[in-house]
Amino acid sequence: MTSYFQDIAPVTYDPQAKGLAFRHYDPQEMLGGKSMQDHLRFAVCYWHNFVWEGNDPFGGQTFDRPWFPADTMDLAKRKADAAFDMFKILGVPFWCFHDHDIRPEGASLKESHDRLNEMADYVQEKMENGGPKLLWGTANMFSNRRFMSGASTNPDPDVFAYCASTVKSCMDVTHRLGGENYVLWGGREGYETLLNTDLDRELQQMGRFLQMVVDYKHKIGFKGAILIEPKPQEPTKHQYDYDVATVYGFLKRFGLEEEVQVNVEQGHAILAGHSFEHELAMARTLGIFGSIDMNRNDYQSGWDTDQFPNNAPEAALAYYEVLKAGGFTTGGTNFDAKLRRQSLDPVDLIAAHVGGMDICARGLKAAYAMLADDALEAPRRERYAGWETSDHLVEGKTLEQIADYAESRGLDPQPVSGRQEILENIVNRYV
Ligand code: XLS
Ligand code: NI
Ligand code: NI
């Protein structure tokens, strides 16, 4: 059967090319003893590329993919063929999926699991024959109407149990496919109105569920990381995993801060009123940095538009934080991004990723150079230099002792410029 992508050739690095090519992403280029491929660890998501039909709140399907509606195993396999063809054309080292993306739902829970296992066999063969590795697996516990009032936070204990079974089967498959992480995005773990919500109970349920997931991970010997993906709202009005700091507080409360990390998405950071680099810096500082979803939001529209990245200065500041965190270990750069609904052609899927990968490469290179030149760290150190000789001031001291220090010396601190514009000019030299 001819490929959905017909005669689109594998994309290569060629800065002079007229057509489809990487102009900045050279997978083999070394940055400090590590190739760009290993720094960036690109992953392509299955859902937006091969499942989403192009609908928006005012209109239905715009895409016409030969595997739609993918409600039979034959069509699901056809979809997998196209997906792995695309992974090969892009040369990405990783992919990501939800259970629901790769298998049609069965008539029973058991049939759904059987189908998931059969599809896992099918993709496993492709992965072993030169396909990409699995960055992460996850379960879709937000699309079907049974999850409308939440997954683990559902008022109905049967839904909680259904979710336990779903996550178990999905972790098993992720483990079997050699997945490097397992992600939990709290799709409908939140609420619309307090009038019908037992907030206290729902948070307890969510904490208990996560503890069970962590226990199960150890039981099956899954070596990857468990990642929570924060998001402040959408689909529910109030999502419990609001942002990185909120997730950290939640993990601490349930004793899981050493066990679980975060998958930070640029668009979710924006929805939370933060910048991407803020969320990444917070994750690094709290010791829970794991992985990123590199898809941006439109700054005007106020919902999760999941667009491909196209802003090199923003990517530079994001990778700056990734590098400061020591780079990815099990994590990577996942494009949880979708086309605009008028971008109908197979080549649009390829071009979108090529452009996104190039933006990330530009960002990474700029970030690497800024760090190598000490361009931002030197002025930052200078700003805090006073503390290098003042730690004795706070170590083991009381508030009265420090007050005495200030008063006896008649301290009168003088303001010093924060130099924001000068620092912004420095960043601009690198991007
Ligand atoms: C939705 C999330 C979702 C997760 C995986 O906004 O970004 O796509 O990444 O469930
Ligand atoms: Ni998202
Ligand atoms: Ni995401």
Q: What is the pLDDT of residues 30-65, one digit of tens each?
A: 999 999 999 999 999 999 999 999 999 999 999 999
Q: What is the mean pLDDT of residues 351-363?
A: 98
In total, the chain counts a number of residues equal to 431
Q: What is the mean pLDDT of residues 80-97?
A: 98
| Tokens encoding 122 | 């099918």
**Is the predicted pLDDT of residue 227 greater than 80, yes or no?**
yes
Q: What is the mean pLDDT of residues 425-429?
A: 97
- 290 versus 299: the higher-pLDDT residue is 290
Could you report how far apart the first and last alpha carbons of the chain are, in Å? 44
Closest CA to 316 of 366, 252, 270, 251: 366
Residue 394 has a pLDDT of 80
Residue type, position 153, single letter: T
Q: What is the pLDDT of residues 315-344, one digit of tens each?
A: 999 999 999 999 999 999 999 999 999 999
Q: Where in the sequence of the chain do the CATH 3.20.20.150 domains occur?
A: 3-372
Residue 1 has a pLDDT of 66
Catalytic residue among 24, 39, 98, 353: 98
Other Cβ atoms closer than 10 A to 62? 15
pLDDT band at 301 (very low <50, low <70, confident <90, very high): confident
Q: Return the residue whose CA atom lies nearest to atom 5 of ligand 1.
A: 185
Other Cβ atoms closer than 10 A to 316? 25
Residue 161 has a pLDDT of 98
Residue 2 has a pLDDT of 84
pLDDT band at 90 (very low <50, low <70, confident <90, very high): very high
Least confident of 35-39, 84-88, 100-104, 388-392: 388-392
Q: Active site includes 48?
A: no
Q: What is the pLDDT of residues 14-24, one digit of tens each?
A: 999 999 999 99
CATH topology of domain 3-372: TIM Barrel (3.20.20)
Q: What is the pLDDT of residues 126-152, one digit of tens each?
A: 999 999 999 999 999 999 999 999 999
State the pTM of this model. Answer: 0.97
Q: Return the residue whose CA atom lies nearest to atom 2 of ligand 1.
A: 185
Q: Average model confidence (pLDDT) for the chain?
A: 97
Q: Which of 96, 181, 271, 336 to mutate to test the pocket of ligand 1 (most atoms within 8 A of CB)?
A: 336
Q: What is the mean pLDDT of residues 306-312?
A: 97
**Ligand 1, closest atom to CA 96?**
5
Can you tell me the distance from the alpha carbon of 320 to that of 418, in angstroms, rounded to the nearest whole number? 20
Place of tokens 């409600």: 71
Between CA 346 and CA 348, with CA 347 as vertex, the angle to 5 degrees is 90
Q: What is the mean pLDDT of residues 170-193?
A: 98
The β-bridge partners of 184 are: 228
Closest CA to 335 of 360, 312, 311: 360
Residue 165 has a pLDDT of 98
Pocket of ligand 1 contains residue 142 by CB under 6 Å: no
Ligand 1 centroid to residue 48 C-alpha, Å: 10
Closest CA to 170 of 139, 147, 134: 139
Q: What is the mean pLDDT of residues 375-392?
A: 92
Q: Any residues with CB less than 8 A from the CB of 220 and at least 6 apart, and which?
A: 171, 172, 175
Residue 393 has a pLDDT of 79
Q: Active site includes 71?
A: no
Binding residues for Mg(2+): 229, 265, 268, 293, 304, 306, 336
Q: Which of 46, 263, 265, 333 to mutate to test the pocket of ligand 1 (most atoms within 8 A of CB)?
A: 265
Catalytic residue among 85, 99, 101, 358: 101
Q: What is the pLDDT of residues 233-253, one digit of tens each?
A: 999 999 999 999 999 999 999
**Is the predicted pLDDT of residue 418 greater than 80, yes or no?**
yes
